[in-house]
Copies of this chain bind each other. A is one copy, B any other.
Amino acid sequence: MSNLRKYIEKSFLSLAIFLVFLFSFSFISSEAEGQAQKPLYLDIAQKILEKGLREEQAFALLEKLTNIGPRLTGSAQAAAGVELMQKEMKALGMDEVHLEPIIVERWVRGNPEEAKIISSVFGAVPLAVCAIGGSIATPENGIKAQVIEVKSFQDLKKFKDKAKGKIVFFNQPMERALIDTLRAYGQAAEQRVIGAVEAARAGGVATLVRSLTLRVDDFPHTGLMHYEPDVSRIPAACISTKGANLLSELLKKDQNLNVFLKLNCQQLTPVTSHNVVGQITGSEKPDEIIVLGGHLDSWDLGSGAHDDGAGCVQAVEALRLLKELRIKPKRTIRAVMFMNEEFGGSGGRDYAIAGGRKKETHLAAIESDNGGFLPLRFGVGGSPQTLKRLQGWEYLFKLLGMFWIREGGGGVDIAPLAKQGTVTIGLVPDSQRYFDFHHSAKDVLAAVHPRELELGAIAMAIFAYVIAQEGI
């Protein structure tokens, strides 16, 4: 790429066209102020964009947050994350910065886990492994058993007797052919979430699950699992995709191989933790709220950079951009960093019903919880009329290279608000790289790009502001 002279010329031309464009719009909006679907707020959106990209403060804040380490629900690091975000919002001069207490479970991984193949043909072969969140420990000396490989619960039912006394190895890969990797995740995740229940029903003594990622590498990915009251609890772990491929290969050659598994997890007593709240109070309708949110807890591998440090710092950065540009919203724009999304969602549930909510009306909640990647669009949960109304603002997001507002919605944290009539909106970033990092030791600051992260914050700031001004 070195066609420079042409570029330089083009740049001047583009700049000229852009200025004419801006000028025409500012002319139109002063002519037709207050009418719907006019290019209002284009100058403000441009200012937010420029300030954000110049300063990249979302990334600077994410660096501070990830320096704390992983923020597993109930951990000391999660508490340190709460302190940091509260302090940062106060330092930025936000209004009404406070904590809202919630009770959270506390599960800990314990000492390093261990898994290995033990084969009379191949000897001992270690597997990269991690307990699934919520799993019980193995007995102190571990479990050693033969392995049965299945791709689905249907498979498992077919093999029912054969699973007895064995470790059930769920090896369904995420479907790479899907452009939407979240859909591929959704399709494959049940083996991790309820695999231990299904395996126990079939008489299995433990489960090993192929990590939910599209990469073939040696990083195990954790996540949440459930037990059921009437089914016996067995230990559950994820192995890396390389490990899963290897185990599958070796099983073809030695069906009698054993796997040794040792997990050291513990369920401790619940503790008090907090949602972190701060805002720019609306000048005209302070009790009408637009929430910007993410979740502050993370898994205990990596440091929760994409999931969901990104969403938290984007919410704070959106407020900072508005505040420092002295943009004063008519309605309140509030950042909420929810605790405990990963381990049960109590932060989102308790926020929606907390005492302070009674006098408030939540117009909209915008959540970022799909990684700090290039934002592509917003997904809106609400009536077709609401969607259509909000689509009228699409032109503002074209400044950022985003091109859609579509049907969709937010995630776990803001779902309880949706039940109260709040319009929930999800920031939808590019999903191609997300599961490389998700819930693994690879989810660290270096996996996040400052400009991609910032563009998400900018998009949230612009959307929150126009809703704060114009309603929904």
Query: Interface residues, chain A, CB within 8 Å of chain B?
Result: 1-5, 7-8, 10-11, 14, 49-51, 53-54, 56, 176-179, 182-183, 185-187, 189-190, 193, 214, 223-224, 307-308, 341-342, 369-370, 374, 376, 399-401, 403-404, 411-412, 415, 430, 432-433, 436, 438, 449, 451-452, 455
Contact = CB atoms under 8 A, between A and B. Distances in A.
Given A401-B179, A403-B404, A411 B452 contact: no
Contact of A432 (B183, B214, B308, B374): B374
| 3 interchain residue pairs of minimum CB distance | A7-B186, A50-B177, A11-B186
A339 to B, nearest CB: 14
B3 A415 contact: yes
A35 to B, nearest CB: 27
Contacts of A451: 176, 214, 432-433
A342 B2 contact: yes
B7 A189 contact: yes
In this complex, the member of A54, A179, A452 whose beta carbon has the largest number of chain B beta carbons within 10 angstroms is: A179
A279 to B, nearest CB: 25
A8 B415 contact: no
A183 B53 contact: no
Nearest to A433: B449
A69 B470 CA distance: 56
B183 A14 contact: yes
Contacts of A400: 179
Contacts of A307: 1
A256 B224 CA distance: 62
A81 B3 CA distance: 23
Given A183-B14, A400-B179, A404-B403, A224 B433 contact: no
A463 to B, nearest CB: 17
A374 B183 CA distance: 18
Contact of A341 (B2, B5, B183): B2
Contacts of A399: 179
Contacts of A223: 2
A409 to B, nearest CB: 9
Contacts of A2: 223-224, 341-342, 412
A214 B53 CA distance: 10
B401 A376 contact: yes
Nearest to A299: B2
Nearest to A51: B177
A412 B4 CA distance: 10
Contacts of A376: 401
Nearest to A133: B2
B186 A49 contact: no
A183 B449 contact: no
A444 to B, nearest CB: 15
A10 B426 CA distance: 15
A438 B4 CA distance: 14
A445 to B, nearest CB: 14
Contacts of A10: 183, 186
A54 B4 contact: no
A307 to B, nearest CB: 6
In this complex, the member of A224, A369, A401 whose beta carbon has the largest number of chain B beta carbons within 10 angstroms is: A401
A415 B1 CA distance: 12
Contacts of A179: 49, 53, 399-401, 455
B438 A452 contact: no
Given A1-B308, A1-B341, A179-B401, 9 more contacts: A1-B369, A1-B370, A2-B223, A4-B189, A4-B224, A5-B193, A49-B179, A374-B432, A430-B430
Contacts of A190: 4, 8
A223 to B, nearest CB: 6
Contacts of A412: 1-3
A162 B433 CA distance: 51
Contacts of A193: 4-5
Nearest to A192: B4
Nearest to A214: B451
Contacts of A449: 432-433, 436
